[in-house]
Amino acid sequence: MARVELEIARGVATVTLNRPERHNAFNEELIEGLIATLQRIEGDDAARILLLRAAGKSFSAGADLDWMRRMAAYDEAENLADAKRLALLLQLLNFMPKPTIAAVQGAALGGGVGLVAACDIVVASPVAMFGLTEVRIGLIPAVISPYVVQAIGERAARRYFLTGERFDAATALALGLVTEVAEDLSAAAARFIEGLEAGAPEAQAAAKKVIRRVGRGPINSAMIDDTAERIARMRAHPEAREGIAAFFEKRKPNWQG
């Protein structure tokens, strides 16, 4: 049975974590499956939007217990190689040029929070729970930390990284980890997908890049020049010409079919 399922239909690549019997916990097989799947989506023009979801009652319980037992027997070099595969997975998801949505129906712990933080938009069930519990077993949320700290901020990270306490969907929404809490995840995701489909693919990829650029700050002459250069390039792009023409001709642009 595939641990990561992929379906591409009508421009949406739906990626499903499929280890429900282990609460979609990470192990080598799941990580490698996600890496291969994300690489495929990035290179597939038929996929405009990525929807990440999970089978069963949990989104992801973090690290698989058997995997953790094996890691405890690894030396430092083996653990480094192992950690770098998870780092690659999160890097691919975070820097995916296409819009990404996560639908969180249940518990998201440890690495599961990392997946959530690396997505652009997150819809969560009111019963979803989140936790960065690594310190309670003598570990730290290191590989996921760039994405989680960026999502919730350093002050909140100081609390949740250090206490390991769990928090609910409403708290995740207030922290900025979650975009929207919804009873019907499918309907909420579909609404965001519809909005994303109205945007131009190259413009969306460029928008994600400019967010990363300005998010690093500071606002100085280099940043101001960089943003001016970015809009100048986009204004001359065929996509922008098509979008502006479609607006004045009162029709849909060609990326909307």
pLDDT, tens digit (0-9, with 9 covering 90-100), for 33-66: 999 999 999 999 999 999 999 999 999 998 888 8
Model pLDDT, residue 66: 81
Is there a catalytic annotation at residue 29?
Answer: no
What are the pLDDT digits (tens) for 150-197?
Answer: 999 999 999 999 999 999 999 999 999 999 999 999 999 999 999 999
What are the pLDDT digits (tens) for 197-221?
Answer: 999 999 999 999 999 999 888 999 9
Model pLDDT, residue 65: 80
How would residue 78 be classed by pLDDT, with cut points 50, 70 and 90? confident
Q: Does CATH number 3.90.226.10 belong to domain 4-196?
A: yes
| Amino acid at site 213 | R
Q: What is the CATH number of domain 200-256?
A: 1.10.12.10
Residue 24 predicted with pLDDT over 70: yes
pTM (two decimals): 0.94
Q: Percent of the chain having pLDDT more than 90?
A: 88
> Would you say the CATH fold of 200-256 matches that of 4-196?
no
Q: Find the catalytic residue in 5, 42, 76, 134.
A: 134
Model pLDDT, residue 60: 97
Residues 109-116: what's their mean pLDDT?
A: 97
What are the pLDDT digits (tens) for 185-195?
Answer: 999 999 999 99
Residue 248 predicted with pLDDT over 70: yes
Average pLDDT, the chain: 94
Residue 1 predicted with pLDDT over 70: no
Residue 87 predicted with pLDDT over 90: yes
The domain limits of the chain are 4-196, 200-256
